[in-house]
Amino acid sequence: MCDTHDNTPYKGLQHEGHDLEHKTWSRRSFLQALGIAGSGSMMLGSNMLTASAPSPLTQAIAQAETDKILILIRLSGGNDGLSTVLPIEQYDAYANARPNIYIPESKILKLTDEFGVPTYMKSLEPMWGEGQFKAVHGVGYESQSLSHFTGSDIFANTDLTSTGFSGLNTGWMGRHFENIYPDYLMSPPVAPAAVQIGNFGSLVFQGEETNYAFVASNIDQLEEIAETGLQYNLDPSLFDDCMYGDQLEFLRGVANVTYEYSGKIHEAYERGQNQVEYQDNYFARQLALLARLIKGNLGTKVYMITLGGFDTHGNQPLAHERLMSYLSIAIDNFYDDLAFTQQDDKVLSMTFSEFGRRIFENGSNGTDHGKAAPTLFFGSGLNGSAFVGEHPTLDDPDGRGNLEYTMDFRDLYATVMAEWLCIPVPLVEEHLLDHPYAPVNLGFNCSGVDFPEIAYSDGEPTIPTAEGENGEPENPTPYDPSLLETIVHKPFYPTNNAPHIYLEMPFSAHVDIQLYNILGQNMGTVFNEMVFEGSREINIRENMVEQLATGKYIYRIQVQNHKMSKSVMVA
């Protein structure tokens, strides 16, 4: 008998249409597998197409390309956002909605006064302290699908009209690669454009003519390719007892020849090495292999890996703790590993899932399919840790108990494409099906645009940059970086509780202080005059024309072309 594996899926608790949908999804994936998936060499008639040097157009584009890398982490099944990022200010509503599965306050790791993560994600605490972790609240889209199949397609193809088997059959990254490699089949890039582990129901890298990812169905297969340079194991003993052993051996040999990239992956694997010990689980093995390929300079810009098991209709607490522990520990190890070769600032990781889960628990100690959920970002390139955007309210869910989205997922995709991968904004809009560009401040900027969003980081939020007289962004002139270290500023509160700003100037200069609310709206001028060398205490309330409501604000100090900001509480 030929070697086989038991791929019987775990059968969890049902909800209406749930089993049927999984059967449909599996059926489509099987049909996709009948074709040749992934990039690499192909046989056309009697002509062999192999990976070769880029075309002149590709070379020109490549010269302008960034050296940054993107890791897409798929949390398959629908991750529960309220077990990932806990809204401390809405804790009572959260606990009341989940009397049997809520996370106790004693098991919440508070990262700010407003938000925390479960203590089983404590491995991310050092990354938070080092400015390598951001969480974006309420990610979703209008009229969000609660279907695994359709929801996964929409997050891959960005086509909000997708329903069932209808919808665009290209993905957001596939359309990008199609633009970069217009002659892909005849002149593919030297390294794989993308590497994907797991080919289950994803359109992310699919273009009109081909899929632009080198796809391995699982980590075992990619590890074998990396170690041997072969697509399949050709040990003759494996085929001795197989009815069609000769034919199977021949077909596997052809596949090894045609998959030119297997050798490239093997070469990178041999050049790189892991310098951190990872856990022995499926997810950690994926990140360990990616770290080795990146450190071996494979040249691939985008990778996609999967952590499955998030369809937690029953027994959610234990399942979610196990999965997010795996993720947290492996991510921390991954960036420690990359830091050995100083590549950690070149690699950005982001999670995505087909939907979130409902506010209220069901009768099986789990939660059912919901809408909005947080997206997590990791990496030194974030330049600061933060919770970004507005967390959905738990007090006003829709009729089925869903969190409504507050952040369009396409805005995150657009920001990553334009500001991290440095793809021109007009092309980004085109790849996202003409979705208008509305960047989110994630801590990196390639296009030079101003960000309308506020990102909070350790009590020191960033705010929108100033605009010129015509509403266009000002072009800041170069300044001495040491200026930042010589000016001291911090909020403080005297006995009368009136908020003040303590300012210490080591030289004389004109100082402009503006106050913003948490939505980024300018509330007015706190201070605008010449300050001589020395210290000043500035009373915020006394200097504001308009009466301020109690709450959190952000002040921005501008000295020449240099800007500094922090948050301040107004009681």
Residue 448 scores a pLDDT above 90: no
Q: Which of 252-261, 373-382, 414-423, 549-558 has the lowest mean pLDDT?
A: 252-261
Residues ≥6 apart with Cβ < 8 Å to 465: 450, 451, 473, 474, 563
Asked if residue 242 lies in contact with residue 248, where contact means CB atoms within 8 angstroms, the answer is: yes
For the segment 25-78, what is each residue's pLDDT rounded down to a tens digit? 443 343 343 333 444 333 323 233 333 334 333 333 443 456 999 999 999 999
Please name every residue paired with 388 in a beta bridge, in sequence order, or none if there are none. 136, 455
What's the pLDDT tens digit per position in 304-334? 999 999 999 999 999 999 999 999 999 999 9
Mean pLDDT of all residues belonging to the chain: 81
- Give exposure, 219-250, as e/b (b: 16+ Cβ within 10 Å): bebbbbbbebbbbbeeeeebbeeeeeeeeebe
State mean pLDDT over 98-112: 96
Lowest mean pLDDT among 346-350, 384-388, 397-401, 477-481: 477-481
Q: Which amino acid is at 336?
A: D
- Per the listing, tokens 């309210």 go with 393
Residue closest to 296 by CA, chosen among 266, 327, 262, 316: 266
Where residue 19 falls among pLDDT bands split at 50, 70, 90? low
pTM for this entry:
0.70
Residue 564 and residue 512 in contact, taking contact as beta carbons nearer than 8 Å:
no
Whether the pLDDT of residue 244 is over 60: the answer is no
Environment class of residue 23 by beta-carbon count within 10 Å: exposed (0-12), middle (13-18) or buried (19+)? exposed
Residue pLDDT, tens place only, 340-385? 998 999 999 999 999 999 999 999 999 999 999 999 999 999 988 9
* The CATH number of the domain covering residues in 483-570: 2.60.40.3080
SS (H, E, C) 78-107: CCCHHHCCEEHHHHHHHHHHCCCCCCCHHH
pLDDT at res. 533: 83
Half-sphere exposure of 420 (CA within 13 A, CB side): 30
Window from 196-205, 296-305, 400-409, 433-442 with minimum mean pLDDT: 196-205
pLDDT at 559: 85
The pLDDT value recorded for residue 288 is: 98
Residue 374: strand, helix, or coil: strand
> What residues does each domain of the chain span?
18-226+300-431, 483-570
Give the model confidence (pLDDT) of 212-231 as tens digits: 888 888 999 999 999 998 76
pLDDT range class, residue 270, cuts 50, 70, 90:
very high
In whole angstroms, what is the distance from residue 512 CA to residue 506 CA? 16
CATH of domain 18-226+300-431: 3.40.720
Q: Which two tokens stand for residue 166?
A: 């209808």
Compute the average pLDDT of residues 172-183.
93
Would you say residue 560 has pLDDT above 80? no
The 10s digit of each residue's pLDDT in 497-546 is 688 998 988 888 889 999 887 666 788 999 999 888 888 899 998 888 88
- Rounded mean pLDDT of 89-95? 95
- Residue 445 predicted with pLDDT over 80: yes
Using CA atoms, how far apart are residues 382 and 232, in angstroms rounded to an integer?
39
Q: How far apart are CA 349 and CA 216, in angstroms?
A: 20
Of 377, 380, 386, 458, which is closest to residue 415 (Cα–Cα)?
377
* Mean pLDDT value across residues 471-479: 37
Q: What's the confidence (pLDDT) of residue 61? A: 40
